[in-house]
Structure 1
Amino acid sequence: MKAFRLEGSSMLPVFRPGQAVLVSPERTRPGDCAVYVYLGRTLLHRVLAVSPAGATLADDAGRLEPHFVPWGDVQGRVLGGPPLSAGAPGLLYSRARRLFGRLFLNV
């Protein structure tokens, strides 16, 4: 298990900048939040889909396009977060936030 301190606001209100999270190296499932390395940066985002080769992740704010990350770059699943940080409720929340965020930005 590792601890990470968060930066950025792409996962508000579920996670706040400066918040510390614990990460378990176990595999993730859609809806979970995971810490991973992407383009040299350590990030925390939502798992949208998984495959034998890795996971597709994106932020809840809809600022980043979903992107594929191989399992070797996924540090693990965030533990003990708020209810919207894992599983089916998290996945539904993320999809709704991304959809409605785009609608409001396109007005």
Structure 2
Amino acid sequence: MFFIAIVIIILATRFIILPAVTGTDVPIAVVEGKSMFPLLREGDIVFIKKVSPEDIHVGDVIVYEYRGKYIIHRVIKVIHQNGKTYYVTKGDNNFVIDPYYEPGVPYDKVKGKVVEIGDNTVLKIPYIGYYTLWINK
């Protein structure tokens, strides 16, 4: 019975409380791969908050959707074109910018900005997401 109560609390937090507080349907994400190393490691869980296009700046780490997958990368350039905002992104450990969208990631594909505490310190839970990565493989 205790286990069921814990599962219900976790599910309610993930699917009801966190989305309401953060303003996004994707309030947490699990880091896959090494593209954001050393800031983020595979299996880290990061917290995401929805922000307006004007609140995403060069240096921010965002989560965006591409073909059903979430990508967590840093904004290296903001482009304002034809009344829309686009973000050129790149993983900290990658040599090239993300090629998925031209001229950059459109705001409507951005799920949110990774929550920071202090200067360039990301709010994360290290390695806990490995379980999720293992289940999905």
Fold match (TM-score > 0.5): yes
2:71 aligned with 1:74: no
Residue 39 of structure 2 corresponds to which residue in structure 1? 14
**Counterpart in the other structure of 2:60:** 32
Shift of 1:25: 0.8
Deviation at 1:37, TM superposition (A): 1.0
1:61 aligns with 2:93: yes
**Structure 1 alignment gaps of length 5 or more:** 87-107
Q: 1:82 to 1:18 in 2, by over 3 A?
A: farther
Structure number having the greater strand percentage: 1
Q: Cα gap change, 1:81/1:59 in structure 2, threshold over 3 Å: closer, same or farther? A: farther
The residue correspondences of 1:32-51 to structure 2 (distance < 5 A) are 32-51=60-79
Q: Distance in 1 between matches of 2:107 and 2:93?
A: 23
Matched, 1:84 2:116: no
Residues of 2 paired with 1:77 and 1:14: CA distance?
15
Query: Bigger radius of gyration, 1 or 2?
Result: 2
Query: Compared with structure 1, are the counterparts of its residues 81 and 62 closer, same or farther at alpha carbon in structure 2 (3 Å cutoff)?
Result: farther
Decide whether the 8 Å contact of 1:32 with 1:85 is kept in 2: no
Contact 1:38-1:69 within 8 A present in 2 as well = no
Percent identical pairs in the alignment equals 28
SS of 2:108's partner is helix
Q: Which runs of 5+ in 2 are unaligned?
A: 1-21, 123-137
In the superposition, the TM-score normalised over structure 2's length comes to: 0.55
Aligned residues: 86
Tell me if the contact between 2:36 and 2:92 (Cα under 8 Å) persists in the aligned partners. yes
Asked whether the equivalents of residues 14 and 82 of structure 1 are also in contact (C-alpha less than 8 Å), the reply is no
